[in-house]
Amino acid sequence: MSKVIKNGTIVTADRTWKADVLIKDEKIFAIGPDLHADHEIDATGCYVMPGGIDPHTHLEMPFMGTYSTDDFESGARAAVSGGTTMVVDFCLPSPGQSLLEAIQMWDNKSTRATCDYSFHMAITWWSEQVFNEMPQVVEKGITSFKHFMAYKGALMVDDDEMYASFQRCAELGALPLVHAENGDVVAGLQARLLEEGNNGPEAHAYSRPPEVEGEATNRAIMIADMAGTPLYVVHTSCEQAHEAIRRARQKGMRVFGEPLIQHLVLDESEYAHPDWDHAARRVMSPPFRNKQHQDSLWAGLQAGSLQVVATDHCAFTTEQKRFGVGDFTKIPNGTGGLEDRMPLLWTYGVKTGRLTMNEFVAVTSTNIAKILNMYPQKGAIVEGADADIVVWDPEAEKTISAKDQQSAIDYNVFEGIKVKGLPKTVLSRGEIVVDNGKVQPKPGHGQFVAREPHMAVNKALSQWKQVTAPRKVERTGIPASGV
């Protein structure tokens, strides 16, 4: 059955215009005036935009002795209800586990997803086996590799391992990602704080200051440069990290930065809340920062030095958070946001004038589709693209509350915030998954999106590295050795 979205204003990353969108066989078939189809979706007064892409989720992830509570079913439901039609989740082998075995596990987890998804592969340990499996991972369409510079004794990799893995990424035309915090220093600060009796959730923030993130970001950028690969820095939360990215880009390096909606909207005062649960529910890494850091992140989105807004959706219930009563280092790290990212960014970004509508589309969808080499299959309103579309009602309002959410946890870190601008209708590859604001989940409809390596920036950078590679000077006059 063909569908047409009528009477709306299309907003993409580069233009805004009035036209209808005709959908056939899961794809955008035509764009233009006065189109007709079997089923009409009215978009009067609404914007018609590429569905959001959240490139940073942890659904049903084994972490800190438990599993994140939202899985591919509740997580994808939360995603579409907020206008996000694709997630990229982290496939996380436990240290020592085969990468291919981990993909099998993630394939099994994701069978009931309502929206499309892809995976990043995490490099949680290093060996000849990992080195040998990386090309097979790329062949399966997973072309980005995440490295944790924190979580010492668990997921953290050292500089030599990271350098080896980045070099492998360069050879394979893949993109390395980093969680940039100095894990050794964090571990030291955690131990000192606990020793001093600082065991509450506020100590989580004290143990991960901006300097720790800034140093690691600089280090990762240097290692990527030496390895000759582009770099994507996840959850950039502070000026120090942003400064490192900004400086690298200004020098011509291919470095991308991803602030989270949580860091843009919530600040460090959350950890001073007298209620332990309130503060612990907001424990994530990096922690929330102060207003100056938030301003820096917003400015980065405006200036283009930061390119993507994600969520790092990693939702734990209050009961799970309470594993850390008496010891903040045992509070599972992570917060939710999948459902709220787009409405919050619209409210705090577009409605305040900090972002244009086109910039909104760029940072929620198009930029990451390009960075991950999925454009224009995803992130675009063009003929032939997947019909992942959100019909956005700029006048619709709601107050965020856990009682109305799709996420399976018992609270929402954005509870009580009023948002204006909500999805009215959402299509996932042509299927209506939100109809007039009502979620109509289609578990199992979501498909894995395979990606190709050797993206344009990889090719350009490896070309440049060849042009500027050290070359032996061929000399004519060579003095006799020894005297």
Helices and strands (DSSP H and E) totals, the chain: 16, 20
- Residue from 71, 73, 215, 312 in contact with Zn ion (CB under 5 A): 312
Judge contact between 359 and 302, C-beta under 8 A: yes
**Which one of ligand URP, Zn ion, none is in contact with 167 (Cβ closer than 5 to 8 A by kind)?**
none
Q: Which is nearer to ligand URP, 22 or 177 (CB)?
A: 177
Segment lying near Zn ion (by CB under 5 A), choices 34-42, 152-160, 207-215, 250-258: 34-42
Residue ranges of the alpha helices (H) in 82-144? 99-109, 128-139
Number of residues that bind Zn ion (CB under 5 A): 3
Query: Which residues are within 8 A (CB) of 205 and not within 5 positions of it... i.e. 6 or more apart?
Result: 268, 271, 287, 288
Strand order in the sheet with 116-122: 52-57, 84-91, 116-122, 144-148, 175-179, 231-233, 255-257
CA atoms within 13 A on the CB side of 327: 5
The yes or no reply on residue 438 touching Zn ion (CB under 5 A) is no
Q: CB 37 → Zn ion: shortest distance, Å?
A: 8
Q: Which is nearer to ligand URP, 102 or 314 (CB)?
A: 314
- The full DSSP string for 197-235 is T--STHHHHHTS-HHHHHHHHHHHHHHHHHHT--EEE-S
Q: Which is nearer to Zn ion, 64 or 422 (CB)?
A: 64
**Hey, which residues does 427 pair with through a beta bridge?**
389, 432
Q: CB 15 → ligand URP: shortest distance, Å?
A: 34
Q: Which is nearer to ligand URP, 183 or 228 (CB)?
A: 183
Q: How far is CA 92 from CA 106, 134, 242, 307, 362, in A?
A: 8, 14, 26, 25, 28
Distance from chain centroid for Cα 91? 13
3-state class (DSSP) for residue 96: coil
Q: Which is nearer to ligand URP, 77 or 179 (CB)?
A: 179
> Could you tell me the two tokens for 121?
């592969």
Segment lying near Zn ion (by CB under 5 A), choices 173-181, 236-244, 301-309, 456-464: 173-181
For the chain, the first-to-last Cα distance in angstroms comes to 89
Q: Which is nearer to ligand URP, 9 or 68 (CB)?
A: 68
Segment lying near Zn ion (by CB under 5 A), choices 125-133, 163-171, 172-180, 360-368: 172-180
Q: CB 287 → ligand URP: shortest distance, Å?
A: 9
Comparing every residue's Cβ against Zn ion, the nearest one is: 179
Q: What is the distance between the alpha carbons of residues 206 and 328, in angstroms, rounded to a whole number?
A: 11
**Which one of ligand URP, Zn ion, none is in contact with 333 (Cβ closer than 5 to 8 A by kind)?**
ligand URP
Q: CB 76 → Zn ion: shortest distance, Å?
A: 17
Q: Which is nearer to Zn ion, 312 or 388 (CB)?
A: 312
Q: What is the distance between the alpha carbons of residues 316 and 22, in angstroms, rounded to a whole number?
A: 40
**Hey, which residues does 175 pair with through a beta bridge?**
144
Burial of 277 (0-12, 13-18, 19+ CB in 10 A): middle
Comparing every residue's Cβ against ligand URP, the nearest one is: 333
**Which one of ligand URP, Zn ion, none is in contact with 284 (Cβ closer than 5 to 8 A by kind)?**
ligand URP
Q: Which is nearer to Zn ion, 168 or 179 (CB)?
A: 179
Taking residues 84 to 103 in sequence order and writing x for each that binds Zn ion by CB under 5 A, - otherwise, the string is --------------------
Q: Which is nearer to ligand URP, 156 or 174 (CB)?
A: 156
Q: What is the CA radius of gyration of the chain?
A: 23
- The full DSSP string for 382-404 is STTSB--EEEEEEEEEEE--GGG
**Which one of ligand URP, Zn ion, none is in contact with 138 (Cβ closer than 5 to 8 A by kind)?**
none
> Could you tell me the two tokens for 333?
């790290």
3-state class (DSSP) for residue 85: strand
**Which one of Zn ion, ligand URP, none is in contact with 36 (Cβ closer than 5 to 8 A by kind)?**
Zn ion
**Which one of Zn ion, ligand URP, none is in contact with 208 (Cβ closer than 5 to 8 A by kind)?**
none
Q: Which is nearer to Zn ion, 36 or 459 (CB)?
A: 36
**Angle formed by the axes of helices 159-172 and 128-139, nearest 10°:** 30
Segment lying near Zn ion (by CB under 5 A), choices 66-74, 100-108, 175-183, 434-442: 175-183
**Which one of ligand URP, Zn ion, none is in contact with 334 (Cβ closer than 5 to 8 A by kind)?**
ligand URP
Binding stretches for ligand URP (CB under 6 A): 58, 179, 284-285, 312, 314, 333-334
The residues binding Zn ion (CB under 5 A) are 36, 179, 312
